[in-house]
Amino acid sequence: MRSYPLLADVHRVGTRTDQKDRARGVVSVYVLTTLLLARHGETDWNRDHRWQGHTGPPLNQTGRQQAVDLAREIDAIDAVYSSDAERAYETALILAERHGLRVVTDARFREVNFGHWEGLTRAQINRRFGRAFTKWLSGEARRPDGGEADEEMAERVFAALAHIFDQHPKERVLVVTSGGQFAPWRRTCWESTKHELVIRSRRFPTARSSNS
């Protein structure tokens, strides 16, 4: 199973009923907007298991090829958005080229800010910050040292998604970001939007299994 990039389909759905359906208690579901969420390709820091967050290097050769391979899987999109992180933007450019689309960057799609941990491995974080990574992974600590909490990341991400839904009704939109956001997005969709979003996913990591 490939680790990079990841791809998921997200549908914003609505409901409608006609008079006959209401009499029978039937509700029809229809798609308003479809999002394709893609993870950026591999970087040297991914390869070396270093946490990236808001920083990090561009794609390496493997990552560029992964983006080229993923581009072949994506059909019929109307717009492409990306985090402004270099690794995500470079991936988005490769994916957009096949469709003749420009890439719109939005800083709200950035990975969690890992603060002082960025550029370090798990072992280095634990040594320098008193087992901070282990505490964060278990939920004992809410945020990385000098960074942001998952809930703060989710708040800005969903503001960006709301903008896309408003700007692209009934369209298919590709969003390229980091893997750490996928599982929180899926969980928060179900908990906070009362089934306005439906996600069909493949190759999802857990929230803490990725070094972004």
φ, ψ of residue 85 in degrees (nearest 5): -65, 140
φ, ψ of residue 207 in degrees (nearest 5): -60, -35
Domain ranges of the chain: 7-113+148-202
* 201, amino acid identity: S
φ, ψ of residue 62 in degrees (nearest 5): -65, -45
Q: Per residue in 122-162, pLDDT tens?
A: 999 999 999 999 999 998 999 999 999 988 988 888 888 88
Give the chain's mean pLDDT: 79
Closest CA to 36 of 100, 79, 68: 79
User: Which band of pLDDT confidence, cut at 50, 70 and 90, is reported for residue 17?
Assistant: very low
Q: Percent of the chain at pLDDT above 90? A: 50
Taking the C-alpha atoms of residue 66 and residue 48, their distance in angstroms, rounded to an integer, is 17
Active site residues: 40, 111
Q: Which CATH architecture has domain 7-113+148-202?
A: 3-Layer(aba) Sandwich (3.40)
pTM over 0.85: no
pLDDT at 77: 92
